C-alpha cells in the first residue's frame, strides 16, 4: 500500500500540470511558425511582390490567444526593471542596438552605462533637435514607426493593413455621452461613423502607425486638440507587427488599448495606443489613474474616465508635438479624426516615418 501511494502521488501531479504545459508548448510553437511566415511575407514586400491576404481561422486565433502573453508581458516588464551591473550594460544594449538598428546618436544620453535597466533604455529620450516638429502641416506623426494604412473611413470599417479591416465601433466602443463629448450633436439614429462626424461636409479619416522594437518609444500629440475622455480596453496582448495584422482580422479590437478622444478645430479627434506582446505597459503622462495589463479582467469589458469636471469644463489641452505618453518596447498608434473633404495625406503605405514629420493637411 505504501509503495502504491509512493508511485501514484507524483503521477497525479504530472497529469494536473500536463494540459497547461501542452497548451503553452503548442501555442508557443505555433507562434514561432507564424513568425517564420511573417519573415517570408516581409521578403515578398521587399521584392515589390503582391502579398496575398490569408486570414486566420477562429481556431487559429483561439490557439494564439491561449499563449499566456499577458503573464509573459508582466514577467518581461519586471525583468526590464532589474538593474544591470555596470560592466554588463554595454554588451546587452549593444546587442539590442545591433539587432534592431537603433540610432543612439539621436539619444539625449548616448552613454550606454547611463541606463540602469532595459526599461530605461527602451524609454530613452531624444535630443531636442533630433525630431523637429513640422509647423506647416496640421497633423504630424505622433511617433516613429511604419505607416501600415491611412485614408477615409468607409462603411464603419477601418483597414489595419491593406485588405484586412476591423469595425470602427468595436475598436472605439459605444459612443460617449453628449455630456462628455459636448461638441457631438449628430442624431442618434445615424450610423456610428456619422455620429462621430460633427460638421457638415466633413469626413472621417484614419492612420495606423506601427512602432518596431528599435523605434523611439514615446508618443506625442499629433495636433493642437483637447482630450476630454479616456477609454481603457483590457484584452489580449498579441503581436501587432504587419505580418500578424495581415493575418488576424480585427487584431486591434482583440488587444488591450487606450482610446483618448476629444476635439480639434475641425471636430472629433482620437488617438489610440494599442498594446502588444511585451508591451503590457501603456502610460499616459497626464493620466495617473490608468493601469494597464492587470492580472485579471472581464472579457469584453472597458472602463471610462472623463477629464471634464466641475473644475475643468474643457478637458486636457494638448499642443502639437507635446509629450503625451510612452510604450515599453514597440506597438501601434491609431489616429481616427474628422476633417474637411479636402484633407490630404502626404504618405505612402509601408513608408518609415518619424515623430514630427507631416501626416497631412488641408
User: What does the domain layout of the chain look like in residue ranges?
Assistant: 139-174+189-361
Q: For residues 177 and 339, which has the higher predicted lDDT (pLDDT)?
A: 339
Predicted pLDDT of residue 45: 62
Predicted pLDDT of residue 228: 94
Is 48 exposed, middle or buried (CB count within 10 Å of its CB: 0-12, 13-18, 19+)? exposed
The Cα 321–Cα 235 span in angstroms is 29
Contact 115, 108 (CB under 8 A): no
The Cα 42–Cα 27 span in angstroms is 23
Nearest partner of 196 among 77, 333, 338, judged by Cα: 338
CA distances from 145 to 120, 155, 216, 251 (A): 20, 27, 8, 18
Place of cell 493620466: 287
Answer whether residue 57 shows pLDDT above 80.
no
Assess whether 220 carries a catalytic annotation.
Answer: yes
Catalytic residue among 119, 141, 143, 220: 220
With a CB cutoff of 8 Å and minimum separation 6, the contacts of 323 are 218, 220, 221, 285
Answer whether residue 51 shows pLDDT above 80.
no
Predicted pLDDT of residue 9: 46
The Cα 315–Cα 100 span in angstroms is 38
Predicted pLDDT of residue 310: 78
Q: Whole-number mean pLDDT of the chain?
A: 80
DSSP code per residue over 209-253:
EEPPTTS--EEE-SSSEEEEEEEEE--B----SHHHHHHSTTHHH
Lowest mean per-residue pLDDT among 123-132, 145-154, 184-193: 184-193
Residue 71 has phi, psi (to 5 degrees) of -65, -45
Assess whether 141 carries a catalytic annotation.
Answer: no
Helix (H) or strand (E) holding 95: helix 86-100
Helix (H) or strand (E) holding 193: helix 192-196
pTM: 0.80
Catalytic residue among 38, 141, 144, 228: 144
How confident is the model over 18-27, as a mean pLDDT?
50
pLDDT band at 286 (very low <50, low <70, confident <90, very high): very high
Predicted pLDDT of residue 53: 63
The Cα 97–Cα 121 span in angstroms is 10
Q: For residues 105 and 247, which has the higher predicted lDDT (pLDDT)?
A: 105
pLDDT band at 208 (very low <50, low <70, confident <90, very high): very high
Cβ neighbours, 10 Å, residue 287 = 19
Is 237 exposed, middle or buried (CB count within 10 Å of its CB: 0-12, 13-18, 19+)? buried
How confident is the model over 256-282, as a mean pLDDT?
88
User: Residue 292's beta-bridge partner residues?
Assistant: none
Reported as a single tens digit per residue, the pLDDT across 215-229 is 888 999 999 999 999
- Strand 218-220 and strand 202-210: pairing? unpaired
How confident is the model over 240-259, as a mean pLDDT?
82
With a CB cutoff of 8 Å and minimum separation 6, the contacts of 165 are 157, 158, 159, 249, 250
Reported as a single tens digit per residue, the pLDDT across 77-132 is 778 788 999 999 999 999 989 988 889 999 999 999 999 988 888 888 888 888 89
Place of cell 523605434: 215
Assess whether 113 carries a catalytic annotation.
Answer: no
Reported as a single tens digit per residue, the pLDDT across 307-342 is 988 777 788 999 999 999 988 776 899 999 999 999
The Cα 145–Cα 351 span in angstroms is 9
Amino acid at each position: 500500500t505504501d509503495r502504491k501511494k509512493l508511485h501514484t502521488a507524483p503521477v497525479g501531479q504530472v497529469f494536473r500540470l500536463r494540459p497547461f504545459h501542452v497548451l503553452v508548448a503548442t501555442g508557443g510553437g505555433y507562434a514561432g511558425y507564424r513568425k517564420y511566415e511573417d519573415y517570408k511575407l516581409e521578403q515578398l514586400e521587399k521584392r515589390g511582390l503582391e502579398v496575398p491576404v490569408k486570414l486566420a481561422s477562429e481556431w487559429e486565433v483561439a490557439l494564439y490567444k491561449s499563449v499566456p502573453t499577458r503573464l509573459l508581458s508582466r514577467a518581461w516588464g519586471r525583468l526590464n526593471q532589474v538593474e544591470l551591473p555596470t560592466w554588463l550594460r554595454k554588451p546587452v544594449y549593444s546587442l539590442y542596438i545591433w539587432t534592431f538598428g537603433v540610432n543612439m546618436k539621436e539619444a539625449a544620453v548616448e552613454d550606454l552605462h547611463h541606463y540602469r535597466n532595459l526599461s530605461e533604455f527602451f524609454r530613452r529620450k531624444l535630443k531636442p533637435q533630433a525630431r523637429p516638429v513640422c509647423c506647416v502641416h496640421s497633423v504630424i506623426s505622433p511617433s516613429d514607426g511604419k505607416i501600415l494604412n491611412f485614408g477615409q473611413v468607409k462603411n464603419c470599417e477601418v483597414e489595419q493593413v491593406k485588405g484586412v479591416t476591423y469595425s470602427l465601433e468595436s475598436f472605439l466602443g459605444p459612443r460617449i455621452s453628449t455630456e462628455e463629448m459636448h461638441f457631438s450633436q449628430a442624431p442618434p439614429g445615424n450610423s456610428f461613423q456619422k455620429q462621430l462626424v460633427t460638421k457638415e461636409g466633413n469626413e472621417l479619416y484614419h492612420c495606423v502607425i506601427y512602432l518596431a522594437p528599435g523605434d523611439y518609444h514615446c508618443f506625442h500629440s499629433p495636433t493642437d486638440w483637447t482630450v476630454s475622455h479616456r477609454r481603457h480596453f483590457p484584452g489580449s496582448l498579441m503581436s501587432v507587427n504587419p505580418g500578424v495584422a495581415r493575418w488576424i482580422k480585427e487584431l486591434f479590437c482583440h488587444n488591450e488599448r487606450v482610446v483618448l478622444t476629444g476635439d480639434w478645430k475641425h471636430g472629433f479627434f482620437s488617438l489610440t495606443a494599442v498594446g502588444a506582446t511585451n508591451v503590457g505597459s501603456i502610460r499616459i503622462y497626464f493620466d495617473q489613474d490608468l493601469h494597464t495589463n492587470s492580472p485579471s479582467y472581464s472579457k469584453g469589458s472597458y472602463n471610462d474616465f472623463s477629464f471634464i469636471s466641475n473644475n475643468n469644463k474643457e478637458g486636457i489641452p494638448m499642443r502639437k508635438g507635446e509629450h503625451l505618453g510612452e510604450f515599453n518596447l514597440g506597438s501601434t498608434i491609431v489616429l481616427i479624426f474628422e476633417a474637411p473633404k479636402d484633407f490630404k495625406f502626404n504618405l505612402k503605405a509601408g513608408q518609415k516615418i518619424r515623430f514630427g514629420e507631416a501626416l497631412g493637411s488641408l
